[in-house]
Structures are given as C-alpha cells and as structure tokens.
C-alpha cells in the first residue's frame, strides 16, 4: 500500500531542481582592442538571451566577485523597497504626512542605490505615489514635479490600479503634457576602464564611450557595468539644450584579477576542440552548471562570433558554432539573439559536441529545432495520475466488502454474537475506502498542477526561443554602433 505514495513523492525532487534552473555564466571576450565595443554589445545580448529563458539562472557575477563584501548600492535598493511598501500602506490609510516622509526617504534610497537599480519600476512607482500624496496635500507644484520626474525616466508610466481622485489625475495629466513637450539634451558617457555597458533609465544604450543624443531634459539614472568591476550609478541632471558629460571611474571587485586572468585564457579556447583547461578552471571556480564563452573578432563592419557552450560540471563541450554578422545592420541584435537561441536548442540535448560554421545570418535565418527532453513536470504529473488511479482502485476495492458487511448486518438480529465484530470490520473497510478516495483526489489535483505548470513553462520557453529581437533596447549614436 505504501509503494504508491513513495513513487508519487519520488517525482518531487526533479520538480524542485527544475524550479531552481540551470545555473549558467556567460562571457564575451574581445580578440583585440578593435573588437572591444562589439564584444560589450554581444555580451549584453548573450546574457539577456539566457536571462529570458526560465530554464536558466544566470550567475550574479558582481555578487560572486565581491565575496563577503556587502554591496552598498544593493542594500540601498532593498531599503527603498521596504520604505515603498510602508509608504504605500500609509497612503492607503490616508496618513498623508508620514506617507510623504516615508516615500521621500524611499526616493533617496533608490537614488543612492543607482548602481544596483537595474529595474526602474519601483523607483518610478515611488515618484508617482509621492506625487499623488503631494496632490492630496494640495501641493500642486510639488505633485507636478514628482510626476514629471517619473515621466522623464519612464514616458509611458501610468497611475496603476485606478481609484485615484480627480485632483490627482488632473495634475498627472498636466505633468504628462509638460513632459511630452520637454526640451532635449545630449549626454556623453565615458568609463575607466573603457568598453563598459551603459544603461540610462534602465535601458541598455551600448558601450562606453558613447554619446546619447536627444534625451529629455531632466533627471536620469545612469548605470555603468563592466564584468569584474563594481557597478557605477549616478543621478544626472540634464539642462535643456545642454551637452553634458559623465566620467564613470569603475572600481575592481576583490577577485577581479583572478577573474580577468581566467577569462583572457578562456576566450581563445572557444575556437578549440573540447573544453580547455582555463574554461574548466573558470567553470569550477564559479560553481556553475554551464558556461558559455564567446570570442568576438571585428574586421570593419563584419563581426565574427566563436561561441562554445560547456557543461561545466562534466567538463565537456555541449556545442560550438561560429557565425559572422554585419555590425552596421539594423538586424545585428536580432541576429545575435537568434544565433544564441540556436545554441540553446543544441545545448539542451546535453550530448552534442560539434562545431557549426556559417556566413552572415540574414532575416530568414531559422535555428535548428531538435526535440527537448521531457519536462520533469510531465513525468511528475504522470506518476501522480498513476497514484490517483491506484488510490481510486483501493477505495472501490474496500467499498465493496464494506457494503457486503453492511448487507449482512441488516439481516442479522441486533443481539447476534458476531454482529459487533462485523461492525468493527465494516468501519475499518469504510475508513480505508474513504482514505483511498481522499488520496485519489489529492493525487489527481497534484497531477493537474504538475501538468498545467509544465505546459505553461514549455509554452513560455517556446515563446522565448522564437523571439527575434532584444526587446526594450534603444539605439544610441556611438561611432557606428547600432
């Protein structure tokens, strides 16, 4: 009787492991200084492709390289999130004075944590709620100012959830009109060392040094990141018609030297057979399941990517491929993502050790589509379904003798010698039958949960694998950069 529950529970660890995802680290290495900017853009695209795949958990490299050191910017963002929640509760309770004080502290915390503020949503939400609070306190100028700051960072921001009074909505609409007609400015961003990722208001803009033209005047959040260094973040005020310059001095993390040494040696191994010694050492040091290394070589507008996807735990190559793209093409980013998606499909087989070569991929490129392994959720759902059937059979099997006993008791006189024994036996049979039906119901519901969850994840993966573009990225003017 207990074999079935054990079989049922045996499927759960596989499900838990799938929820955690495959830990992966992705790196792009420029073959020479002339390929540095192209490598930065490629590194961002490769990492984003993995981050959008729910089967993968991308390594937090900055956190790993910082060791036990607390990243102050992240602490500020956590503080901002806590203050936002408290401020929202106070606003909902119409405690406007403490709500405004708390939300103002949240804004300051987010700004101090600009280096770790990858997602602008909580910061923008705080500014919007701050504006609504000012409006309810009849401070129209401050309300419009908070709304304008939110709309400068996120022009499509809206007051979510509804329920805001007409006074608040009217001031928000005024601020939207003002933000829509805002004057423009240019921002040049430099980094030391150079070839670093640049984000403005949470949107990837390209590689430093670069100039971003026609930004709305006002306050913007700039974040600069380079693998091996602590992220740099700052709030920048752009005056109308001005040409502002920002110099980002990046500080190496405590383990940056070891990381850069390993990465320099691992880059050329992407073009070699098997998994090289440096790549093995890098994967073991980072303690990841998989490792992807891409070496970038630029020659004019042509950019060649030599990519190798490794099973870091097993120290073997899953797949490798080489492709050449036109860096000046409007489809450069889409083509790189399609290329990486093709690597996903090959590496998910977990056995391929091959090298593909090809020329520039045009708009009609279609990556290979090998079958993916069966999702663990479908396996767990099948086991749960089998358990439900067996428990149901148990319930039916025990109901029949219980009914027979009940029929016998109805025909016996109440004082019969064996009537009590039959009653006890009948109660046991009915209890076991009820337990069987209950367990069958639980197992059936569990199977449905497994099947629905697995089907949803499979659909999400398929949708992601078919996406052609980067999603949400903006173009910047930076010496021919797309």
For 210, 306, 311, 352, the CA distances from 274, given in Å and listed in that order, are: 38, 14, 11, 11
- Sorting pLDDT into bands at 50, 70 and 90, what band is 382? confident
Asked which of 12-21, 35-44, 72-81, 323-332 is least confident by mean pLDDT, the reply is 12-21
Helices 166-180 and 140-153: crossing angle in degrees, nearest 10, is: 50
Q: Which residue in the block uniquely carries the two structure tokens 């960072």?
A: 153
Quick: pLDDT tens for 17-51: 344 678 999 999 999 989 999 999 999 999 998 88
What is the CB neighbour count within 10 angstroms for residue 16?
A: 9
Q: Tell me what the pLDDT averaged over the chain comes to.
A: 82
Q: What is the mean pLDDT of residues 278-285?
A: 95
The model's pLDDT over 411-441, given as tens digits with 9 standing for 90+, comes to: 666 555 566 776 787 778 778 878 878 988 8
Same fold, 19-66+254-373 and 72-180: no
In this prediction, residue 393 carries a pLDDT of: 87
Pairing of strands 316-326, 290-299: unpaired
pTM: 0.70
Torsion of CA 243, 249, 253, 254, to 10 degrees: -170
Which single residue is written with the structure tokens 């940056």?
256
Q: Can you state the percent helix, strand and coil of the chain, rounding each to 5?
A: 50, 20, 30
User: How much is the pLDDT for 19?
Assistant: 47
Question: For the structural domain made of 184-249, what CATH number should be given?
Answer: 2.60.40.10
Residue whose entry in the numeric block shows the structure tokens 């018609």:
241
Instruction: Return the percentage of the chain with pLDDT > 90, whole number.
Output: 54
> What is the mean predicted confidence (pLDDT) over 268-282?
93
Question: Which of 160-174, 264-278, 353-367 has the highest mean predicted lDDT (pLDDT)?
Answer: 264-278
**What φ, ψ does residue 293 adopt, rounded to 5°?**
-120, 130
What's the pLDDT band for 347 if we cut at 50, 70, 90? Answer: low
CA angle 199, 201, 205 (to 5 degrees): 30
Residue matched to tokens 């449905």? 448
Alpha helix segments (H runs only) across 113-217: 121-136, 140-153, 166-180
DSSP structure string for 74-125: HHHHHHHHHHHHHHHHHHHTT-HHHHHHHHHHHHHHHHHTGGG----HHHHH
pLDDT confidence bin for 355, thresholds 50/70/90 = very low
Q: Which tokens is 462 given?
A: 């398929």
Q: Which fold has domain 72-180?
A: 1.25.40
Given this model, what pLDDT does residue 482 score?
A: 32
pLDDT of 126:
96
Domain locations along the chain:
3-14+374-465, 19-66+254-373, 72-180, 184-249
Cβ neighbours of residue 193 under 8 Å, at least 6 residues apart? Answer: 226, 229, 250
Of the candidates 296, 320, 305, 308, the residue with the CA atom closest to the CA atom of residue 360:
305
Stretch among 224-228, 303-307, 336-340, 458-462 having the lowest mean pLDDT: 458-462
CB neighbours of residue 57 within 10 Å: 17
The dotted CATH code for 19-66+254-373 is 3.40.50.10070
Q: What does the buried/exposed string (b/e) look like for 193-204 if buried means 16 or more CB atoms within 10 Å of the residue's CB?
A: ebbbbbbbbbeb
């Amino acid at each position: 009787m207990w074999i079935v529950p054990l079989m049922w529970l045996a499927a759960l660890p596989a499900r838990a492991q799938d929820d955690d995802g495959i830990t992966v680290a992705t790196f792009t290495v420029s073959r020479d200084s002339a390929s540095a900017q192209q490598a930065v853009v490629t590194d961002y695209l490769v990492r984003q492709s993995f981050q959008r795949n729910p089967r993968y958990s991308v390594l937090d490299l900055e956190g790993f390289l910082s060791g036990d050191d607390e990243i102050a910017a992240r602490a500020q963002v956590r503080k901002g999130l806590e203050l936002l929640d408290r401020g929202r509760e106070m606003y909902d309770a119409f405690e406007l004075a403490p709500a405004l004080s708390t939300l103002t502290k949240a804004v300051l915390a987010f700004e101090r944590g600009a280096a770790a503020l990858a997602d602008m949503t909580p910061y923008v939400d705080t500014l919007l709620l701050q504006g609504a609070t000012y409006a309810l306190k009849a401070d129209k100028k401050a309300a419009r100012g908070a709304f304008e700051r939110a709309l400068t960072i996120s022009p499509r921001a809206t007051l979510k959830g509804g329920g805001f009074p007409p006074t608040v909505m009217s001031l928000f609409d005024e601020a939207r009109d003002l933000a829509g007609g805002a004057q423009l400015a240019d921002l040049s961003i430099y980094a030391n060392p150079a070839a670093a990722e640049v984000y403005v208001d949470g949107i990837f803009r390209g590689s430093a040094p670069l100039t971003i033209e026609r930004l709305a005047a006002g306050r913007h959040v700039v974040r600069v990141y380079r693998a091996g260094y602590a992220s740099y973040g700052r709030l920048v005020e752009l005056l109308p018609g001005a040409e502002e310059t920002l110099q980002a001095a990046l500080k190496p993390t405590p383990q940056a030297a070891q990381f850069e040494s390993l990465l320099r040696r691992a880059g050329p191994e992407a073009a070699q057979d098997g998994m090289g010694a440096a790549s093995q050492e890098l994967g073991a040091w980072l303690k990841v399941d998989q490792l992807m290394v891409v070496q970038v070589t630029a020659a004019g507008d042509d950019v060649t990517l030599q990519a190798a996807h490794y099973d870091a735990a097993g120290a073997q190559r899953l797949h490798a491929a080489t492709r050449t793209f036109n860096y000046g093409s409007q489809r450069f980013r889409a083509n790189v993502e399609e290329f990486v998606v093709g690597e996903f499909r090959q590496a998910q087989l977990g056995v391929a050790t091959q090298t593909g070569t090809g020329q520039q991929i045009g708009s009609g490129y279609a990556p290979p589509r090998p079958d993916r392994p069966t999702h663990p959720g479908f396996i767990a759902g099948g086991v749960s379904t089998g358990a439900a059937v067996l428990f149901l059979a148990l319930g039916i099997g025990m109901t029949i003798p219980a009914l027979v006993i009940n029929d016998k008791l109805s025909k016996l006189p109440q004082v019969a010698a064996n009537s009590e024994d039959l009653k006890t036996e009948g109660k046991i049979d009915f209890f076991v039958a009820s337990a069987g039906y209950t367990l069958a119901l639980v197992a059936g519901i569990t199977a449905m949960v497994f099947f629905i969850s697995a089907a949803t994840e499979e659909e999400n993966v398929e949708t992601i694998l078919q996406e052609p573009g980067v999603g949400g990225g903006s173009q910047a003017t930076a010496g021919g950069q797309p």
